[in-house]
């Protein structure tokens, strides 16, 4: 009987070994399937993370573009306010030129009261235009000619060698509004 018991024991061991082998095979398959599922889940998670990163990037770019748009429109609005009066000031420049010519002629006359009255009106007009941002472009005879700041009407033979390539005479004053020249001074240059 004792032998029989050992005989059954050996059968049990064989059966257990086969059962353990089946469990191990199933576990390996489950592990393999589980790993595949985990790998697939990670790839789905990675895909979602990539999609999220793309959407964040789109959002940040769109937000930055909107901020740039706001800055640009604000800057344009400020520029518009600065130069909104440009057309009116351009229309008043010939009147200012006429005042300058009238002042030259009135100063030649002997009527001091007339000269003083017209000069007061002239200064008041100039002062008002200056408060609106109008400035005279500073160009005078003897300055070097710069095409960025003056318009050459004609060239004449230079009265002296030191005036060659320089401004000989200013025919019409130039004006700027802020940093922008709205009318270039008209000059004669020596050659």
Give the lowest-confidence range in 149-153, 166-170, 178-182: 178-182
Averaged pLDDT for residues 33-62: 78
What is the assigned CATH class of domain 135-191?
A: mainly beta
- Long-range contacts of residues 12-15, Cβ cutoff 8 Å, at least 24 apart: none
Q: What is the CA radius of gyration of the chain?
A: 46
Q: Is 163 helix (H, G, I), strand (E, B) or coil?
A: helix
Q: List the chain domain ranges.
A: 1-84, 85-132, 135-191
Give pLDDT tens digits for 123-163.
999 999 999 889 999 998 888 888 888 999 999 988 888 88
What pLDDT is stored for residue 112 in this prediction?
Answer: 87
Higher pLDDT, 118 or 17: 118
Higher pLDDT, 36 or 115: 115
Bridge pairing between strands 134-137 and 174-177: antiparallel
What pLDDT is stored for residue 37 in this prediction?
Answer: 45
What pLDDT is stored for residue 191 in this prediction?
Answer: 85
What pLDDT is stored for residue 18 in this prediction?
Answer: 53
């Amino acid at each position: 009987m004792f032998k029989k018991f050992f005989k059954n024991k050996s059968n049990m061991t064989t059966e257990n070994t086969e059962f353990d082998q089946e469990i191990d095979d199933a576990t390996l398959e489950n592990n393999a399937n589980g790993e595949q599922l985990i790998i697939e889940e990670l790839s789905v998670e990675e895909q979602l993370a990539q999609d999220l990163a793309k959407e964040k990037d789109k959002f940040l770019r769109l937000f930055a573009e909107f901020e740039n748009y706001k800055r640009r429109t604000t800057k344009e609005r400020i520029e518009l306010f600065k130069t909104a009066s440009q057309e009116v000031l351009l229309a008043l420049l010939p009147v200012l030129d006429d005042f300058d010519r009238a002042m030259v002629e009135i100063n030649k006359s002997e009527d001091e009261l007339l000269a003083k009255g017209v000069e007061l009106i002239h200064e008041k007009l100039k002062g008002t235009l200056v408060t609106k941002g109008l400035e005279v472009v500073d160009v005078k005879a003897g300055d070097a000619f710069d095409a960025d700041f003056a318009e050459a009407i004609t060239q004449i033979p230079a009265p002296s060698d030191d005036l060659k390539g320089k401004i000989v005479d200013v025919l019409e004053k130039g004006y700027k509004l802020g940093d922008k020249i709205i009318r270039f001074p008209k000059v004669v240059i020596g050659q």
